[in-house]
Amino acid sequence: MSRNVISFNYTLKDKAGQVLDQSQPNQPLTYLEGSNTIIQGLETGLSKLNVGDMEEIIVRPENGYGFRDESQVDVISRSQLPVEEISVGDYFQAGNDAHAPVVQVVKIDGDNVTLDANHPLAGVDLFFSVELVGKREATEEELSHGHAHTEGGCCGGHDNGGCGCH
């Protein structure tokens, strides 16, 4: 079964119309279909488009970043944190390995620091405006690596600590 490599530009807004994220001009996001690179709801919407199509894709939490889980919110003592200076809104990784969850500081009360390990977009309805700019069949090499190759070749030539294909 063949799979495609898709490139698209996007702007992501929330329900209120505030821009949460967007691709940079002339730097579309490229992914291999079925590689879990992008959220499911977005991939499903993009799979129906052809090159040049522009579309609004609404992704609900169940097809996006999931729902908030309040058991992922924890209060710890400041001395347990790996850093000296912290502020509300800071993110850091809860552990040393590359796949450790990212947590956000949501409250500081004296020595008590409240950390939230939920994805910042958990529970949020996502409003994508997308433009499909590229669609081609994946190469054998891409299929065996499980990701898309861009102009720079494997891993796009950019710094990549997580790529296991070398």
Element (H, E) at 30: strand 29-32
For residue 44, the minimal CB distance to Zn ion (Å) is 24
Under rule CB under 5 A, residue 88 binds Zn ion = no
Alpha-carbon distance of 92 to 97, in angstroms, equals 12
Distance of CA 122 to the CA centre of its chain: 12
Under rule CB under 5 A, residue 119 binds Zn ion = no
Number of residues that bind Zn ion (CB under 5 A): 3
Contacts of 109 (CB under 8 A, 6+ apart): none
Alpha-carbon distance of 40 to 34, in angstroms, equals 9
For residue 8, the minimal CB distance to Zn ion (Å) is 20
Under rule CB under 5 A, residue 165 binds Zn ion = yes
Element (H, E) at 145: helix 140-145
For residue 29, the minimal CB distance to Zn ion (Å) is 16
56, 145, 158, 161: which one binds Zn ion (CB under 5 A): 145
Under rule CB under 5 A, residue 135 binds Zn ion = no
The nearer residue to Zn ion, 135 or 145, going by C-beta atoms, is: 145
20, 81, 106, 154: which one binds Zn ion (CB under 5 A): 154
- Tokens representing 34 are 């079925």
Q: Which residues bind Zn ion (CB under 5 A)?
A: 145, 154, 165
